[in-house]
Amino acid sequence: MSSSTAPLGEALDGILARLAQLEAKAGIKGPPPPAPTTTTTTTSSSSTPSSSSSSSSGFVTAYDAYLSSVLPPFSSACSALSPSLSVLSSSLSSAWSAQRTFLEAASRARKPTDNAKLQPFFQPYMEAKKAIPNDRDDFENHRKAVGEMFGMLQWIMISPKPVDYLADMSGAVDFWTNKIRVAHKKTGPLHVSFCDALKDVQKGLVAYVKEHHMPGVSYKMNGGVDLADAASPSPSSAPAPVAAAAASAPAPAPRAGGGGGSLLAELSKKSTGDSAATGLKKVTKEQQTWRKEFSGGSGSSVVSASKSAPKKAAPAKSLGPPVFEFKDQGMKWVVECQTSSSNPNGVLTVNVTDPKQQVYIYKCDGATIDIKGKCKGVVVDTATKCNILCDTVISALEVVNGKRLKLQVRGVCPSVAIDKTDGCLTYLSAEAAPATTFVTSKSSEMNVSWPDKDGEYQEKAIPEQFQHKLDVEKGTISSEISDLYSH
């Protein structure tokens, strides 16, 4: 092929490679594309295996279908409600697309022996969640609902039955969407549409996992490679033909016009006002801070202040060394200063061997504590973002000075006491639901979830607002639950 027609041949090879990718994703078997001729050999050879691998794993294709069915409606609902909510749709799309990268790697990899190997795949989730602002405005509950959605992506660490975990996490999302529905039930149909679209994302993920990953992630059974090795080609095999085309398109561009021709074309654009600098504001001498710095003016103070600003951030508080021990005096298990990284797989298991033993949990942050066995009582003191699971509790499960906690009772617990706590979601078993009473004081954002007769989890908010009426003649005060909780 001559040098004059080389750019045209490269462009055609790129188009054929992209068509092959689209046919593979759509399940269309057509004739193989012609072998590339020149420099596009590397590009086409790298894209063909990715398309074949994605088409060979049915659960990756099913995940693509799930994304295409739920993400566009959610993005439309966010845009229709407010332009400021576009960050919610973009963050959710980024995280859900990042999970596709993991699923594609899992289709080629054997099951890892340690869940620590999954940690690199959670980094995109964390970055996407950080993009959601923490503003207090009319859409605060919308942001919190989407923020809770990111917890559902951790189902890849659960085996067996990750569907049960997804059902539990859905309750945390429904807590915020129910608040939105109640506040805008009659006046804001767009808010309700937002909740419906977000609910479809939840239901779609549950249905997908139930169909393709019921016992856990469906790793490759025979001949699989290590998960880290399977993830290495994932950037090129990710479903981004537009990005791949954008990366390869600039290469032929300089050959089209030659070096001198490109320079003359850019100079002609400047004369007509169509260059890259068109529309930029001119910086005057007064706005050029380097002049003040050079002359010893106030420009340097601005730079030094901006550099020193990040140093004002206070360092994170240290919880102290983690403690996990049993004390014979008082028959008490002591769990202190535990975090998500202080235990293997992020879970601390407390094996209770005597019903007279009790468990005391203090100053834990982000930890998951699983109490197995029948115990006398459980006390959770000054804990933040912790998950507490227990079997049967004889006396009571007490929570004090907590923030954003999740409790789960698998057996029976006659009483749950919540004091000075902001954010507490309690999951009750079918056996415990009719027998458990709640005693609350100085607390907010409390919810309780339980399974109905069909096995579907229901969720209600524990009232925190009351109406008090004074009876002057009798000298008494009567209290009733606010109408806010009448639904």
SS3 462: coil
pLDDT in tens, 288-321: 776 665 555 554 444 444 444 555 555 556 678 8
How far apart (Å, rounded) are the C-alpha atoms in residues 372 and 386?
17
Q: Which residue has the tokens 């919610």?
A: 88
Tokens of 434: 């009719």
Can you give the pLDDT at residue 296?
A: 56
Can you give the pLDDT at residue 136?
A: 75
Q: How confident is the model at residue 162 (pLDDT cuts 50, 70, 90)?
A: confident
Q: How confident is the model at residue 254 (pLDDT cuts 50, 70, 90)?
A: very low
Q: Average pLDDT in the 132-157 region?
A: 84
Can you give the pLDDT at residue 399?
A: 96
CB 405 within 8 A of CB 418: no
SS3 243: helix
How far apart (Å, rounded) are the C-alpha atoms in residues 267 and 258?
14
Cβ neighbours of residue 190 closer than 8 Å, sequence gap 6 or more: 77, 80, 81
Can you give the pLDDT at residue 388?
A: 96
Q: Is 343 left (phi over 0), alpha (psi -120 to 50) or beta?
A: beta
Can you give the pLDDT at residue 114?
A: 74
In this predicted structure, which of 204-208, 257-261, 354-358, 447-451 has the lowest mean pLDDT? 257-261
CB 462 within 8 A of CB 437: no
Q: How confident is the model at residue 433 (pLDDT cuts 50, 70, 90)?
A: very high
Mean model confidence pLDDT for the chain: 78
Can you give the pLDDT at residue 356?
A: 93
In this predicted structure, which of 341-355, 383-397, 409-423 has the lowest mean pLDDT? 341-355
According to DSSP, the β-strands at 415-419 and 403-409 are unpaired
Is the pLDDT at 68 greater than 60, yes or no?
A: yes
Of the ranges 181-185, 230-234, 267-271, the best mean pLDDT one:
181-185
Tokens of 340: 């998500």
CB 464 within 8 A of CB 447: no
In this predicted structure, which of 23-27, 125-129, 456-460 has the lowest mean pLDDT? 23-27
- Whose CA is closest to 403, among 388, 386, 426, 415? 386
Q: Which residue has the tokens 């993005």?
A: 75
pLDDT in tens, 44-58: 333 333 333 434 468
Cβ neighbours of residue 391 closer than 8 Å, sequence gap 6 or more: 352, 371, 372, 373, 374, 375, 409, 410, 411
CB 175 within 8 A of CB 447: yes
How far apart (Å, rounded) are the C-alpha atoms in residues 397 and 417?
6
Q: How confident is the model at residue 211 (pLDDT cuts 50, 70, 90)?
A: confident
Helix boundaries (H) for 150-188: 162-183
Q: How confident is the model at residue 243 (pLDDT cuts 50, 70, 90)?
A: very low
SS3 content of the chain, % helix, strand, coil (to 5): 45, 20, 35
Can you give the pLDDT at residue 87?
A: 86
Is the pLDDT at 116 greater than 90, yes or no?
A: no
pLDDT in tens, 370-388: 999 999 999 999 999 999 9
SS3 179: helix
How far apart (Å, rounded) are the C-alpha atoms in residues 155 and 103?
12
- Strands annotated E in 337-390: 347-351, 358-362, 368-372, 377-381, 387-390
Can you give the pLDDT at residue 89?
A: 85
Can you give the pLDDT at residue 38?
A: 41
Can you give the pLDDT at residue 395?
A: 94
Can you give the pLDDT at residue 447?
A: 94
Is the pLDDT at 484 greater than 50, yes or no?
A: yes
Can you give the pLDDT at residue 268?
A: 57
Instruction: Supply angle C-alpha 138, 139, 142, rounded to 5.
Output: 145
Q: How confident is the model at residue 257 (pLDDT cuts 50, 70, 90)?
A: very low
How far apart (Å, rounded) are the C-alpha atoms in residues 409 and 428?
5
Provide long-range contacts, Cβ within 8 A and 24+ apart, for 227-233. Answer: 227/105, 227/106, 227/109, 227/110, 227/112, 227/117, 227/118, 228/117, 228/120, 229/109, 230/105, 230/106, 230/108, 230/109, 231/101, 231/102, 231/105, 231/109, 231/120, 231/121, 233/46, 233/49, 233/50
How far apart (Å, rounded) are the C-alpha atoms in residues 285 and 50?
54
Q: List C-alpha distances in Å: 258 to 247, 251, 255, 387, 446.
A: 20, 13, 5, 64, 69
